[in-house]
């Protein structure tokens, strides 16, 4: 019973800390020995602290509730040298050898347990897990450890590490922290870190008894977007007795709130543009087949899906080179989807020329077959496609605004594909032929253009670009047999909204629909937002049946 309770406590503690841990935490290994037996402890653990060695010694013996003073002394005595130890303790990797009481850090390399002495820095040979005992931590100790780590890291050579360290200290500014910060401030070279230290000091000074000091602190805080500064300002407005300080704080808070609103707007805009880039990628292939050739391809979504599955298969083929898999997947997806597109054109669409409604039905049939094919081959379950390292993570602009890198890359990628396509249509002979055929098929034929061949190539190009879109989509969502279906209606809307046969119209339509969708979302909720956008387009098409940028002249007839 007791054992069960202990495991439970341990579990709760780990899950609690992992929520607000700054670094990803490895799960604390519950050592059965420590959990079941309560080790006998000396009554007065911190009797005569002499050196780091003795402190470490006492750390192994001390009761959990009395470990804090020991750690404090360790920090002041040991300094930066003990940084790895503090980190290890925070992550639950700190153990001691039962027989010699030597404190060690454990790590598992290739499934093998290795223990390294904290002071000796030497690996201990042949240590097994039951010879070790864990040095336990609780949430109170974890809080102190984080602070201590941050204080010690302030002198780290890497500026970004120093910045993160000061930032971590903001929430809880103890006197030692302030002392440390005041000590390092004059030597600090990096401007960002300087500002952050100034903010920390200002946060501390805002509790000062002198109104002038408080006022100065408020001015410093006004320039910061850190949530700690904002919370402090709110507190000052509520409690401060000095009207001057109060007024300054109110003004500062207003300024900060405005800035937050502005960055919130930018954030929304970014998400809108990101959605727009996805729509653009999905719709641009359709803009060619539907817009230029006048062929409705209901299997377009499945071309996207095939591209996404190609990415998945490529990653399966080269599991050790996920970083480079995308560079293989992009051309391969283009080829796969393009080939399938050419096959569809040669096998089916060619025979239905001039009968758009039949083309629609036949391609829909093809889309059903492709979906079922993928379901039979890969299973109906969604597949996860890994993102390469360089695409994951965020671009932090300030404490409020951070842009996810994969969305940023896909935005750029969509524009790149769009530009390339425009170049192909404008500058190559294929583009010239495509435009000629789309404007006047009979005349083009009379001029000696092989319209059959042009049709197949155009369809292949459109489908291939859909495949590339699939590669991009696989980085944002799961890959499943229904992936394409989700985008087909949206893509049609984009093409129709932008004006058929007009690539620039597709670009404008994709981004405006994406942005509109994301700005509606907070007001109405995601589902209603897409419904409103759909209804808007339905109404818009009634008003302007040819879209935003209709084709002019005889080609439009």
Q: Which is nearer to another protein, 188 or 302 (CB)?
A: 302
Tokens 């500062």 correspond to 252
Apex CA 521: angle with CA 518 and CA 524, to 5°? 155
Q: Of these, 329, 400, 500, 508, which contacts another protein (CB under 8 A)?
A: 500
Query: Where is 349: in which H helix or E strand?
Result: none
Examine residue 365 and tell whether it contacts another protein (CB under 8 A). Answer: yes
Q: Of these, 26, 372, 379, 477, which contacts another protein (CB under 8 A)?
A: 372
Q: How far apart are CA 12 and CA 278, in angstroms?
A: 41
Examine residue 310 and tell whether it contacts another protein (CB under 8 A). Answer: no
Q: Of these, 66, 129, 156, 375, which contacts another protein (CB under 8 A)?
A: 375
CA distances from residue 345 to 192, 327, 445 in whole angstroms, order as listed: 59, 27, 18
Q: Of these, 179, 369, 397, 423, which contacts another protein (CB under 8 A)?
A: 369
Q: How far apart are CA 105 and CA 102, in angstroms?
A: 10
Q: How far apart are CA 495 and CA 541, in angstroms?
A: 11
Q: Could you tell me if 199 and 226 are in contact, meaning their C-beta atoms sit under 8 angstroms apart?
A: yes
CB of 465 to another protein, least distance (A): 20
Q: Of these, 168, 269, 352, 422, which contacts another protein (CB under 8 A)?
A: 352
CB of 510 to another protein, least distance (A): 16
Examine residue 443 and tell whether it contacts another protein (CB under 8 A). Answer: no
Q: In terms of Cα–Cα distance, which of 153, 18, 155 is closest to 91? A: 18
Examine residue 173 and tell whether it contacts another protein (CB under 8 A). Answer: no
CB of 454 to another protein, least distance (A): 14
CA 47 from centroid of its chain's CA atoms: 50
525: left (phi over 0), alpha (psi -120 to 50) or beta: left
CB of 375 to another protein, least distance (A): 7
Q: Which is nearer to another protein, 84 or 294 (CB)?
A: 294
Tokens representing 523 are 């007001």
Q: Of these, 2, 111, 542, 553, which contacts another protein (CB under 8 A)?
A: 542
Examine residue 395 and tell whether it contacts another protein (CB under 8 A). Answer: no
Examine residue 360 and tell whether it contacts another protein (CB under 8 A). Answer: yes
Examine residue 524 and tell whether it contacts another protein (CB under 8 A). Answer: no
Q: Which is nearer to another protein, 415 or 436 (CB)?
A: 436
Question: b/e for 46-71, b at 16 or more Cβ within 10 A?
Answer: beeeeebebbbbbbbbbeeeebbebb
Q: Which residues would be at the binding site for another protein (CB under 8 A)? A: 294, 296, 348, 351-352, 354-362, 364-369, 371-373, 375-376, 438, 489, 492-493, 496, 500, 527-528, 530-531, 534-535, 537-539, 541-543, 545, 555, 557
């Amino acid at each position: 019973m007791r054992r069960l309770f202990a495991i439970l406590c341990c579990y709760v503690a780990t899950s609690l800390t992992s929520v607000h841990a700054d670094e990803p935490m490895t799960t604390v290994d519950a050592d059965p020995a420590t959990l079941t037996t309560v080790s006998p402890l000396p009554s007065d653990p911190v009797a005569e602290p002499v050196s780091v060695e003795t402190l470490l010694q006492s750390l192994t013996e001390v009761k959990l509730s009395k470990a804090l003073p020991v750690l404090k002394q360790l920090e002041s005595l040991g300094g930066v040298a003990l940084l790895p130890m503090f980190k290890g303790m925070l992550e639950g990797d700190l153990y001691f050898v039962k027989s010699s009481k030597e404190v060690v850090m454990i790590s598992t390399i290739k499934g093998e347990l290795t223990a390294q002495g904290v002071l000796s820095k030497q690996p201990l040979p042949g240590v097994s897990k039951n010879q070790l005992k864990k040095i336990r931590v609780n949430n109170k100790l974890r809080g102190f450890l984080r602070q201590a780590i941050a204080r010690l890291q302030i002198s780290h050579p890497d500026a970004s590490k120093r910045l993160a360290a000061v930032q971590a200290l903001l929430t809880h500014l103890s006197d030692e922290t302030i002392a440390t910060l005041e000590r390092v401030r004059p030597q600090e070279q990096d401007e960002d870190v300087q500002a952050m230290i100034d903010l920390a000091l200002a946060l501390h000074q805002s509790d000062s008894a002198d109104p002038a000091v408080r006022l100065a602190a408020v001015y410093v805080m006004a320039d910061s977007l850190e949530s700690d500064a904002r919370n402090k300002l709110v507190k000052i407005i509520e409690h401060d007795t000095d009207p001057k300080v109060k007024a300054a704080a109110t003004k500062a808070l207003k300024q900060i709130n405005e800035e937050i609103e502005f960055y919130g707007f930018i954030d929304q805009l970014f998400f809108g543009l990101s959605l727009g880039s996805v729509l653009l990628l999905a719709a641009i292939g359709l803009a060619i087949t539907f817009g230029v050739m006048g062929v409705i391809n209901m299997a377009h979504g499945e071309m996207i899906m095939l591209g996404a599955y190609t990415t998945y298969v490529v990653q399966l083929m080269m599991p050790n080179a996920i970083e480079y898999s995308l560079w293989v997947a992009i051309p391969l997806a283009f080829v796969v989807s393009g080939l399938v597109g050419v096959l569809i054109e040669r096998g089916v669409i060619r025979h239905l020329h001039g009968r758009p409604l039949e083309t629609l039905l036949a391609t829909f049939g093809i889309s059903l077959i492709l979906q079922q094919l993928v379901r039979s081959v890969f299973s109906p379950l969604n597949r996860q496609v890994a993102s390469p390292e360089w695409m994951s993570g965020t671009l932090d602009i300030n404490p409020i605004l951070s842009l996810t890198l994969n969305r940023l890359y896909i935005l750029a990628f969509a524009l790149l594909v769009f530009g390339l396509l425009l170049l192909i249509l404008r500058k190559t002979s294929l583009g010239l032929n495509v435009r000629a055929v789309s404007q006047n098929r009979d005349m083009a034929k009379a001029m000696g253009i092989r319209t059959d061949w042009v049709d197949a190539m155009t369809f292949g190009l459109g489908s291939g670009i859909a495949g590339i879109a699939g590669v991009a989509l696989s980085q944002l969502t799961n890959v499943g047999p229904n992936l394409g279906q989700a985008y087909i209606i949206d893509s049609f809307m984009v093409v129709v909204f932008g004006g058929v046969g007009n690539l620039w119209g597709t670009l404008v339509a994709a981004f405006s629909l994406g942005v509109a969708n994301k700005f509606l979302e907070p007001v109405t909720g995601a589902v209603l937002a897409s419904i409103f956008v759909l209804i808007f387009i339905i109404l818009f098409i009634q008003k302007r049946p040819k879209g935003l940028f209709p084709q002019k002249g005889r080609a439009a007839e």
